[in-house]
Amino acid sequence: MPTIAELLPPKQRRKPRIGLVAGGLGTYWPQFPDLLPQLQESARYASQRFEGMDAEVTDVGFISDAQEGAVAAERLRQADCDLIVLFLTTYLTSSMVLPIAQRANSPVLVIDLQPTEKMDHASFDTGAWLAYCGQCPVPEVGNLFGRAGIPFRSVSGYLRQESAWARIERWINAAHVRSALRHARHGLMGHVYPGMLDVSTDLTLLPTTFGSHVEVLEFDDLRHRVEQVTEAETAARMDLARQVFTLDETVVDDDFAWGARVSVGLDRLVEDFDLDSIAYYHRGLDGEQHERLGAGMILGASLLTARGIPTTGEYELRTTVAQLATHVIGAGGSFCEIQALNFEDGVVEMGHDGPAHLAVSSREPLLRGLGVYHGKRGWGVSVEFDVQPGPVTLLGLGQDRDGTLAFVACEGTVVPGPLLAIGNTTSRVDFGRDPGEWVDEWSATGIGHHWSLSVGAHAADYRAAASLLNIPFRQV
């Protein structure tokens, strides 16, 4: 039985670019001839660890003075890094690293990993001790970065300490988010759901905050492509859907075929405009063609979302951005809102109708036929499943009064229990507190009424991503 990834190959994106430079104070080398080779060996080990991560690594080698730091800075500037990792192998002066942080125009992570857990005090001389002195300049670099207005980030530990590497990998995950959002092309099709003032987004904010692009689309762009879909292509998409979904007896064949046809047209729209996401909505009237297109989106939108191209209803551009962020770190990310509170069980019930991310489902997702979409015009097939039990993290993209975008996150646990069977993705999330109190605090963060629900405990990853993106982070 093929997997979802085999049936729906994920979109291939530009990998995050990691710049790597190691350094120490060159004054030591003639004084202690064995020191530099030892430090270079540590730098090689670190480089190998980074090469094993899902990233494109530019290693500019080892620097020993400020002049070499300036040369490294220029090479890293040309590499257009999403994150520069500066490995302090022993003491160095902060003048050696300032050009790297200033000229490369990329966020910097300082790491200092001494060779082992501790020194052997009985046998160590000064040269051996200096290999353990990488922590010494960390406060100096932190002070300099603060005075220069450069955000300071660091991971301290020892070379083969897996917990330290887990903290470093958190920053690599954050670089995945930064890379994806910097280069994303977001499709925006239709118009905002009337009256949803929280959903309305200043389109200039995404390019100016992240560097991404918003491609404004017409529903006619989709209509034209759907009209060109053949019967054979529609049948093939229906066969694919039968492998991915369980079809409920409520599914009407004509509605299923229409959803499959729209799905093929959506794929062509994504390919033609090279899109990384789509947010859409069309109100429609009396079953006219554009209403039918909007109502037929759910199947194709869910298949695109499963491939890592979030496709979300209600014109929710900011939530689609959050879904892209949660997806690229491997956590899925399904469109979500509050549905109800269960004070007896102490859970918040949340989910949404329409498109869903299949990676968060606890079972084979269901296609259910709906004669009416609540709050929307039209009819057709919808996706239904419950979210897999275990830790989850909510991530939304809030927009403040001054236009600032912010990541807003909260960790909880999906627990089993009764759920509605109404063609929605649903879950019962336990936040370890009174559900009403949680709603009050969550709503006070500036979050809109939609967000991305991702699997796993990832608040620390999203905090790191906000740091690299230079936006605020709020956690409930």
229-288 pLDDT, tens digit per residue, is: 999 999 999 999 999 988 888 888 889 999 999 999 999 999 999 999 999 988 877 778
What residues form DSSP beta bridges with 369? 381
Predicted pLDDT of residue 367: 84
Predicted pLDDT of residue 288: 81
Q: Distance between CA atoms of 276 and 188, rounded to whole angstroms?
A: 11
Q: Distance between CA atoms of 86 and 24, rounded to whole angstroms?
A: 11
Predicted pLDDT of residue 374: 57
Predicted pLDDT of residue 284: 77
Q: Distance between CA atoms of 183 and 387, rounded to whole angstroms?
A: 30
Positions in the chain short of pLDDT 70: 1, 370-380, 423
Neighbours of 261 (CB within 10 A): 23
Predicted pLDDT of residue 370: 67
Q: Distance between CA atoms of 268 and 104, rounded to whole angstroms?
A: 38
Tell me if 189 sits within 8 A of 221, measured CB to CB: yes
Neighbours of 25 (CB within 10 A): 18
Predicted pLDDT of residue 250: 87
pTM (global) more than 0.85: yes
Nearest residue to 459 via CA among 396, 375, 371: 396
Predicted pLDDT of residue 425: 82
Residue 329, classed as helix, strand or coil, is: coil
